[in-house]
Amino acid sequence: MTIRILIKGAVGRMGTNLVKTLAANPNTTLAYAVVHAQAPELGKSVPEFPELTYITDLKEATDFDVAIDFTSPSSTLETLAHCQKLGKPLVIGTTGLSNAEKEQIKAASKDIPIVFAANFSVGMNLMFKLVEKAAKVMGEYSDIEIIEAHHHHKVDAPSGTALALGEHICKALDRDLEQVAVKERNGLIGPRTKEEIGFSTIRAADVIGEHTVWFADIGERVELSHRVSDRITFARGAVHAALWLAQGQEANLYDMTNVLGLDKI
């Protein structure tokens, strides 16, 4: 059975890699390639699927099995409403969503199955588990810092993945990230508090994504790092999530932990 997938933002950095991934996978095909109204590609053929043209109106896109969206918060909510209306599963990789927007996704997951993740790489999702383990061993007495680097086009900071790392650490330590996160340091800030988790952000050139977590004690430090050198890694993970949803998952909110079975480890 070939799974028909709608890609929203099909000519963006992630969208182009998603289309390439679908073309290389014998179990998937592109159902619709949706772009914004000002995209120069609108109306032209999709190179990997020349029988299809880029469209902009979601109302035209009804015959698909799963949708994937890595666009912007407002665009993603439009896709969410469309999938909810049609009863179609959705994979969301958009970052920079507000708490209220995340609540809309959570509410929609009562009607349709959704995979919503800050990062779709297998390695990073393994790292989420590793930082939980490290936090349980060293978190109560060590200083915890999260350093992340991305390309200079990224508009949100800290990255969604960095914040997700913080959430996994706080889950292990029974802390509230909103209460302990320190995202800026400037001037005479005083000594660091014991429970705070610091975030450092780098934006430079074409860095795809790098994250390092420090668990630092006097005399020793454990560092857990993950680096991505090709955005295709995220695309493969997202398509894997779409295929998993297409297996008939029930309406619920899932992440890559569920998709990869890491919640069973």
If asked whether residues 193 and 181 sit together in one domain, one would say: yes
E strands of 10-82, at which residues?
Answer: 28-34, 45-46, 49-55, 66-69
Task: List the beta bridge partners of residue 28.
Answer: 3
Residue 114 CB neighbour total at 10 angstroms = 26
- Please enumerate in sequence order all residues whose Cβ is within 8 A of that of 195, keeping only pairs 6 or more positions apart, or say none: 175, 180
pLDDT at 263: 80
If asked whether residues 242 and 157 sit together in one domain, one would say: no
Domains in the chain, number: 2
Asked whether residue 11 is marked as a ligand-binding residue, the answer is yes
If asked whether residues 143 and 109 sit together in one domain, one would say: no
| Tokens representing residue 15 in the block | 């969208």
If asked whether residues 63 and 137 sit together in one domain, one would say: no
Active site residue 154: yes
If asked whether residues 251 and 203 sit together in one domain, one would say: no
| Pairing status of strand 197-203 against strand 114-116 | unpaired
Q: Write out the residue range of the structural domain in which residue 195 sits.
A: 122-228
Contact (CB, 8 A) for 128 and 257: yes
pLDDT at 264: 84
Asked whether residue 161 is marked as a ligand-binding residue, the answer is yes
- Please enumerate in sequence order all residues whose Cβ is within 8 A of that of 232, keeping only pairs 6 or more positions apart, or say none: 17, 20, 21
* CATH, residue 159: 3.30.360.10
If asked whether residues 189 and 251 sit together in one domain, one would say: no
- State the pTM of this model: 0.90
Asked whether residue 201 is marked as a ligand-binding residue, the answer is no
Asked whether residue 212 is marked as a ligand-binding residue, the answer is no
| Tokens representing residue 138 in the block | 């060293």
If asked whether residues 219 and 88 sit together in one domain, one would say: no
pLDDT at 107: 98
Q: Which of 20, 154, 171, 183 is catalytic?
A: 154
pLDDT at 66: 98
- Tens of pLDDT along the chain (265 residues) come to 899 999 999 999 999 999 999 999 999 999 999 999 999 999 999 999 999 999 999 999 999 999 999 999 999 999 999 999 999 999 999 988 999 999 999 999 999 999 999 899 999 999 999 999 999 999 999 999 999 999 999 999 999 999 999 999 999 999 999 999 999 999 999 999 999 999 999 999 999 999 999 999 999 999 999 999 999 999 999 999 999 999 999 999 999 999 999 988 8
If asked whether residues 97 and 137 sit together in one domain, one would say: no
| Tokens representing residue 86 in the block | 């049609």
If asked whether residues 88 and 41 sit together in one domain, one would say: yes
Asked whether residue 199 is marked as a ligand-binding residue, the answer is no
E strands of the chain, at which residues?
Answer: 3-8, 28-34, 45-46, 49-55, 66-69, 90-92, 114-116, 143-150, 181-182, 197-203, 209-217, 220-228, 253-254
Q: Which of 8, 150, 168, 226 is catalytic?
A: 150
N residues, the chain = 265
Asked whether residue 151 is marked as a ligand-binding residue, the answer is yes
Asked whether residue 14 is marked as a ligand-binding residue, the answer is yes
If asked whether residues 165 and 92 sit together in one domain, one would say: no
* CATH, residue 18: 3.40.50.720
- Helix, strand or coil, per DSSP, at residue 153: coil
If asked whether residues 194 and 243 sit together in one domain, one would say: no
Distance of CA 56 to the CA centre of its chain: 23
Give Cα separations from 99 to 73, 104, 155, 210 (angstroms).
11, 9, 17, 24
If asked whether residues 65 and 109 sit together in one domain, one would say: yes
How far apart are alpha carbons 136 and 128 in whole angstroms? 13
